[in-house]
Amino acid sequence: MILIVGDSNDIHISSVCNLLIKPEQVININPHNAIDSIKYSFLPFEISFYKEGNEYSANEIEAIWWRLKPKLSNNTLELKEAESIQFMLREWLFVLESLSNFLADSFWINKRSIDKEVRNKPNQLLTASKLGFTIPKTCITNNPTKLFSFFKEREYIIYKPLGYLIIPPDEVLYANKIEVSELKKMSDHISVAPGIFQEYIHKAFELRITIVENEIFAVKINSQATSNTMVDWRRDQNSASYELFDLDNSFKHRLLALHHAFGLVFGAYDFIVTPSNEYFFLEVNQVGQWLWMEEKLEDLKITQAMANVLSRYQK
C-alpha cells in the first residue's frame, strides 16, 4: 500500500495515481477534509487505516508521499468556526506527523525531518553556497538601518518572504523589486518581521529544474519576454513560454550533489541565468508543482517519473 497525505482534489496527486501500477493500493488521507480514517490502539500498539469500508494495517504501508499544501482560509467563516477548523487540522497533524517515527523504515517522499529542514530558506542558501553554487548577495533582517547599509551601493533589491502569505480569494505575496533609495521610507514595514532581501540580478531567462530521485527535468522559462513575469514568473506563469533545456553534465553532477545533501527524493529548483551565462541558485521547493509545465511541454515526464518511483513499492 501507498499512503498519500494531501488534498484528494490536488490534480498532481490524482495524475500520479492514474499512472500507478495498482492505483487501488492507495490510501489518501486529506487532513483538510478527511474521508478516510485512522486509528492508533495501544497495548498492543497498532496503527490502522480505513478506506471505503476496508481496514489496512500500517504494516502494509511501503511508501508515503507527503504532499500536504496550505489550504486557503474562507474569510466568510465566523471566528468560532474558523478556530474549530484549525483545531481539527492540528489534531490530524499531531497524529500524521508521528508516522515519521512509526513508519521510519518505509520509503518517504520526502522524510518529514528533511522536509522541515529544507523548507528553511536560510538553510537552503547556506547549503547551496557551501557546495559551490552562486547565490545572490543576501541579507535576512528586520533592521531597516542595517539593510540600507548592506545594499546602499545597489539601485534595486528583491524582497521575498521566508514563508508564504495567501490572502483569499487570490492575493499572493510574490517577490518584489524595490528601489534601495525607498528603503528608508519603508522602515515601519521592514521592522515588523524579518524578510529575505537580495541583490537584483538581470536575467536572460530562468530555470525550473525538477529532480525525482536522480532523474533531472530542466525547463527554461522565458520570463523576460513579458512585463508580468520579469521579476517573478509565478505572477503569470500560464502566459510565460517554456522550453526543455539541456544542462551540461558537470552542472548535473553538482545539482545531484546538492539534492543528495538536502536528502530529498523530490525537489523543484529555481535558478536565474544571466546574460553572461552565470547561474544563480534561488531556492528549492520540496512540494513544488509541475503540471502546468507538462501541459505546455509534451515530452516533460515528471508525473510518470513520480509514478515509477511509487510503483516500486506496490506488490
Q: Do 88 and 8 share a structural domain?
A: yes
How far is residue 15's CA from residue 152's CA, in Å, rounded to a whole number?
48
Burial classification of residue 3, based on how many CB atoms lie within 10 Å of its CB (0-12 exposed, 13-18 middle, 19 or more buried): buried
Helix (H) or strand (E) holding 266: strand 266-273
In this predicted structure, what is the pLDDT of residue 302?
A: 98
Q: Do 215 and 192 share a structural domain?
A: no
Q: How many CB atoms sit inside 10 A of residue 307's CB?
A: 19
How far is residue 4's CA from residue 49's CA, in Å, rounded to a whole number?
12
In the chain (315 residues long), the average pLDDT of successive 10-residue segments reads: 91 96 91 83 94 90 93 68 86 95 97 96 98 97 94 93 71 82 89 95 97 98 89 86 97 98 98 98 96 96 98 90
- Sheet harboring 37-41: ordered strands across? 37-41, 46-51, 54-57
Q: Do 275 and 153 share a structural domain?
A: no
Q: Do 284 and 156 share a structural domain?
A: no
In this predicted structure, what is the pLDDT of residue 36?
A: 77
How far is residue 301's CA from residue 72's CA, in Å, rounded to a whole number?
29
Q: Do 122 and 72 share a structural domain?
A: no
In this predicted structure, what is the pLDDT of residue 199?
A: 96
In this predicted structure, what is the pLDDT of residue 59?
A: 94
Q: Do 105 and 38 share a structural domain?
A: yes
Q: CATH code at 142? A: 3.30.1490
In this predicted structure, what is the pLDDT of residue 45?
A: 96
Instruction: Please name the amino acid found at residue 302.
Output: I
How far is residue 231's CA from residue 224's CA, in Å, rounded to a whole number?
8
Structural domain boundaries, residue 161: 138-199
What residues are paired with 211 via a beta bridge?
216, 267
Q: What is the DSSP letter of 184?
A: G
Q: Do 124 and 255 share a structural domain?
A: yes
Give the strand pairing for 215-221 and 176-179: unpaired
Q: Do 221 and 130 share a structural domain?
A: yes
How far is residue 140's CA from residue 305's CA, in Å, rounded to a whole number?
36
Q: Do 161 and 222 share a structural domain?
A: no
Q: Do 277 and 153 share a structural domain?
A: no
Residue 152 resides in a domain: yes
What residues are paired with 218 via a beta bridge?
209
In this predicted structure, what is the pLDDT of residue 130?
A: 97
Residue of 269, 71, 236, 102 whose CA lies nearest to 166: 71
- All residues at 6 or more sequence positions from 284 whose CB lies less than 8 Å from its CB, including other chains: 118, 124, 262, 264, 267, 268, 269, 270
How far is residue 168's CA from residue 72's CA, in Å, rounded to a whole number?
6
- All residues at 6 or more sequence positions from 110 whose CB lies less than 8 Å from its CB, including other chains: 66, 118, 263, 264, 265, 266, 267, 286
